[in-house]
Amino acid sequence: MKPVKIPIEDFIDLHTFSPEEVSDLLSEYFSECIKNGIFTVRIIHGKGRGFLKNSVVKILKKSPFVESFKDAPMEAGGWGATIVELKKEEKA
């Protein structure tokens, strides 16, 4: 499968990715964000039934790049998005 180039910004929308891609995607994305001086990232996972959000939370809890995370404020997606604070120094 050909790699997909996505812009490194302060948010990523997971709607276009399959659930099995999310773990590797977030790890690579966080690494690139840190290299580009981006330390706050909004992950848009949607509300739905919460399966994708639960998967994202499990990934964030294990990620060596993540300092902290919380639900986005209502104006930024509420519980349909998660705000992640990345560590200033890459540990992985």
CATH number of the domain to which 66 belongs: 3.30.1370.110
Alpha-helical segments (H) within the chain? 22-35, 51-62
CA 64 vs CA 2, 30, 43, 91: distances in Å: 27, 10, 17, 6
Gap between the Cα atoms of 37 and 48, Å rounded? 32
pLDDT at residue 44, as a whole number: 96
Phi and psi torsions of 44, nearest 5°: -95, 110
Helix (H, G, I), strand (E, B) or coil at 46: coil
Per-residue pLDDT, 5? 76
pLDDT in tens, the chain (92 residues): 556 677 889 999 999 888 899 999 999 999 999 999 999 999 999 998 888 999 999 999 999 999 999 999 999 999 999 999 999 974 54
42 part of a folded domain:
yes
Q: Which pLDDT score is estimated for 90?
A: 47
CB contact at 8 A, 52 and 46: yes
Q: How far apart are CA 84 and CA 69, in angstroms?
A: 4
Q: Kindly state whether residue 1 falls inside one of the protein's structural domains.
A: no
Q: What is the pLDDT of residue 84?
A: 98
What is the pLDDT at residue 21?
92
Range of the domain at 64: 11-86
The structural domain count of the chain equals 1
